[in-house]
Structure 1
Amino acid sequence: MQVRTTRLEAEEAKIIYQETAGLAIITIHRPQLKNALTANMWDQLAKIALRTLENPKNKVLLLRGSGENFTAGSDIKEFNSISLEKAEEAFVHMERTISTIENLPIPVIGVINGPAMGAGLELALACDIRIGSDKAKMGIPVGKLGITLNNKFAKRLVDLVGPSATKDFVFTGRMYKAEEAFKAGMLNYIVAEKDLNRFAIRMGKLVAGMSPDSLVAVKRSVKECVDSAPVLWEGSTSFVSETDFSEGVRAFVEKRQPVFTRQLPKQ
């Protein structure tokens, strides 16, 4: 097995890349912060995902988090020290990385042990198949942070659970445990935590043994069937609400409930 590690600003924050028996394996490793991704980590994740295509022996990509987390998504504390404009750029960059994973021509299997939250949930939904442990949890509490759900983010949820369930999921900020996520279609399989990696590798090898042409064709055909959202919101539509976002991030850092004062727009 070959192991290549991309070192980031701190030794404990890294994206680990491995190749073995036709499988590429990417592991998000920042266990002290629930594998939350910094802006630099999002950038490295996209680059490493594209690197999987450099080796023609790679038939399937497994994407996982280290320890008992998939990823908590973006590092919210990072947003507490940047401008709204920089936050906007970060969300656009984040979506492009997630789309890079989603648009890889080879099958991508998400291995979900523990929470997949916010952008981490979207990263999981960008995978073609999701295998969760019995400790898997999935949620997207954007309403607590003043983040507006862009159309690409929303579409991934709508495609799996439907419009009403998507709105309920986001409006309430609820978190699905493994069984709820499975019933909703967010997870394809649930296995015991101790069996998760073994099952994922076995599944990866099973998929890798199929016709490469068939795999590429069905992935392209399915995308064409469901893909109707534009690349990203355009024009003046924002990814974040300035006042709500600032309050939401401050409340997150200060570990308190946010207090939003803006009124809903009138029809």
Structure 2
Amino acid sequence: MTKLGEGAMPELVVSDTVDAVATVRIDRPPFNAFDTALRIELGEVVRAISDDEGVRAVVITGGATAFAAGADLKALSVMEYEQISVWNRALQRVFNDIAALPMPVIAAVNGVALGGGMELALAADFRVLADDAVLALPEVQLGIVPGAGGMQRLRRLVGVSKAKEILMSGRRLDAREALSIGVAEHVVAAADVVTHAQALASQFAAGPRFALQAIKESIDLGADSPLATGLAMDKNLLAGLFATDDRKVGINSFFDHGLGKARFGTTPE
């Protein structure tokens, strides 16, 4: 087990790596509301993970009753234009860094994920929800909007009209609806959320590192690109993978043992 960020001694974000899976837990009870300190610590942990070649997949989670409940409204309520612009830009940058991590990222969501908490979950590649989880972007009910990526990422998951309906109403989504509209990929019992997410992460961690990274880059960067641009990117990504040991391991294993038997991360025979 490897503790990330030991030099900084994080108090609000705890991160451990076991068998190439980093589990990042937000720990600012009772609701894991984002303030400046939490945002800074989460950013530091994410940067450490990005630079750690031993991490092959990431799970982000919170507490049993709250994944994260958005921004600390007491802190935000006294901000003016200049302050909120700087603060929100910094939070958006942390969530963008999570989305850009060069490995699969899974949000394991128990309890509520409201406002910035849902935006954090949307920054992951996949979401595993407790069967009693509740998600919402309720900012419109405060006379504001989500500013850390929620509007753009939700639209890309559920489409234009559904995103507008959810955002303009600020209503809550239960786990069943989130699964049905594509906001979540898995719904499990609350007690199993983190272990289920870690099991999925372990499967990814055993896969071909650079091929998984290439898939993530193609989907994320090609989402709003013209088809010709995306196809050119895919061609170059494929060609680049032919320089990796994983390509040799995968193809050699196919000839020797059949499809799906490769042990990636090993030295090619």
Q: TM-score, normalising length from structure 2?
A: 0.78
Match for 1:178 among 175, 179, 183?
A: 175
1:182-261 to structure 2, matched below 5 A, reads 182-227=179-224
Deviation of 1:151 after TM superposition, in Å, equals 9.1
Letter in 1 for 2:17: E
Match for 1:94 among 67, 76, 91?
A: 91
Per the alignment, residue 31 of structure 1 pairs with: 29
What 5-or-longer segments of structure 1 have no aligned partner? 229-267
Match for 1:148 among 133, 145, 161?
A: 145
Q: Secondary structure at the match of 1:70?
A: strand
Letter in 2 for 1:104: L
Contact 1:7 1:15 in 2 (8 A): no
Higher mean C-alpha deviation, range 57-66 or range 87-96: 87-96
Matched, 1:134 2:131: yes
Give the Cα–Cα distance (whole angstroms) in 2 for the partners of residues 56 and 93 of structure 1: 25
Match for 2:75 among 51, 58, 78?
A: 78
Structure 1 pair 18–151 and aligned structure 2 pair: CA distance change class (3 A): closer
Structure 1 pair 151–201 and aligned structure 2 pair: CA distance change class (3 A): closer
Deviation of 1:161 after TM superposition, in Å, equals 0.8
Per the alignment, residue 40 of structure 2 pairs with: 43
Matched, 1:65 2:76: no
What 5-or-longer segments of structure 2 have no aligned partner? 226-269
Give the Cα–Cα distance (whole angstroms) in 2 for the partners of residues 105 and 76 of structure 1: 32
Deviation of 1:219 after TM superposition, in Å, equals 0.3
Q: TM-score, normalising length from structure 1?
A: 0.79
Q: Which structure has the larger Rg?
A: 2
Give the Cα–Cα distance (whole angstroms) in 2 for the partners of residues 227 and 60 of structure 1: 25
Deviations 1:212-263 (A, max 9, x none): 01111000000122146xxxxxxxxxxxxxxxxxxxxxxxxxxxxxxxxxxx
Give the Cα–Cα distance (whole angstroms) in 2 for the partners of residues 173 and 48 of structure 1: 31
Structure 1 pair 106–47 and aligned structure 2 pair: CA distance change class (3 A): same
Letter in 1 for 2:196: F
Instruction: State the superposition RMSD in angstroms.
Output: 1.8
Contact 2:2 2:17 in 1 (8 A): yes
Contact 1:116 1:139 in 2 (8 A): yes
Identity of aligned residues (%): 29
Structure 1 pair 143–7 and aligned structure 2 pair: CA distance change class (3 A): farther
Give the Cα–Cα distance (whole angstroms) in 2 for the partners of residues 102 and 151 of structure 1: 12
